[in-house]
Amino acid sequence: MFSQDIVSSDDFLDMPISSQVLYFHLAVRADDDGFVSPKMVMRVIGSSSDDLKVLITKRFLLPFESGVVVIKHWLIHNLIRADLYKETLYKKEKSMLGLNENGAYTELRDGVTEIKQIEAPKWLKQRRGELRTTNVPQTAHRLGKVRLGKVRLGKVSTTSDFNSFWSTYPVKKGKGNAEKSWEKLKPDLQTVLTAIEKQKQTDQWTKDNGKFIPYPATWLNGKRWEDEVDVVTNSKFAKYDS
């Protein structure tokens, strides 16, 4: 969701179309707290560094030294149900933010409200067994219908995450096997995307035009996102950094 007050404002519409497009793509790929690594997104859609600079200068994005950015007006655009919410991996960066009077992210300082943790609703706490319900023992089994609904929600999320992985991985072969591996392993999307960006800069992935990059299913089955890698610094290996 996008707030019309934000994307129809003069400040937003005065930006180049390319910067506006990058903003929408970053927002679509951001995690539940609005954090996203822009480098991968810019590579996928062909945005320039100038587009990112415009968004930062106009303060539609707030940057961090780690390279990640946060959508400043994320909480205005989105109101995520607590039972579906998954906190960002960028907890250090999040701890540096607060909320201004309009409910937008801003740098934490005097007069700025600290970000409060999203609390699970009462019905979810009851389902998890954190609260007792009237005439129902703490050990009562969950209803099959509720469990089925939970599985379906997870399936949708898994498919969406796999599509993000597939669009980022440089080798487009064996999609069916890769998707089966993804559904079986259910890795954390942001961890996987970060690992891919690092491995794109390694000697194995850059030499001979990517000849030695493993197939997606092989990479997933080997849990290669857990590998420690040495990044190539020589500019002649910069094929995947452009």
pLDDT 10s digits, 177-229? 999 999 999 998 888 888 898 888 888 888 888 888 999 999 999 999 888 87
Segment 10-28, tens digit of pLDDT: 999 999 999 999 999 999 9
- Residue 149 pLDDT > 50: no
Tokens 């980022």 map to which residue?
168
Find all residues with CB under 8 Å of 75, minimum gap 6, and list them: 34, 99, 103, 104, 105
Residue 183 CB neighbours (<10 A): 14
Q: Note the pTM of the prediction, 2 decimals.
A: 0.47
- Residue 92 pLDDT > 50: yes
Residue 126: predicted pLDDT: 55
C-alpha to C-alpha distance for 68 and 52, rounded to whole angstroms: 12
Cα 113 to chain center, whole Å? 24
Query: 56 falls in which pLDDT band (50, 70, 90)?
Result: very high
Q: Do 18 and 3 contact (CB within 8 A), yes or no?
A: no
Q: Which residue has the higher pLDDT, 154 or 2?
A: 2
Average pLDDT over residues 138-164: 53
pLDDT above 70: percentage of residues in the chain: 74
Query: 99 falls in which pLDDT band (50, 70, 90)?
Result: confident
C-alpha to C-alpha distance for 61 and 56, rounded to whole angstroms: 5
Query: 231 falls in which pLDDT band (50, 70, 90)?
Result: low
Q: Which residue has the higher pLDDT, 66 or 113?
A: 66
Q: What b/e readout covers 32-48, taking b as 16+ CB neighbours within 10 angstroms? A: ebbbbbbbbbbeeeebe
Residue 140: predicted pLDDT: 40
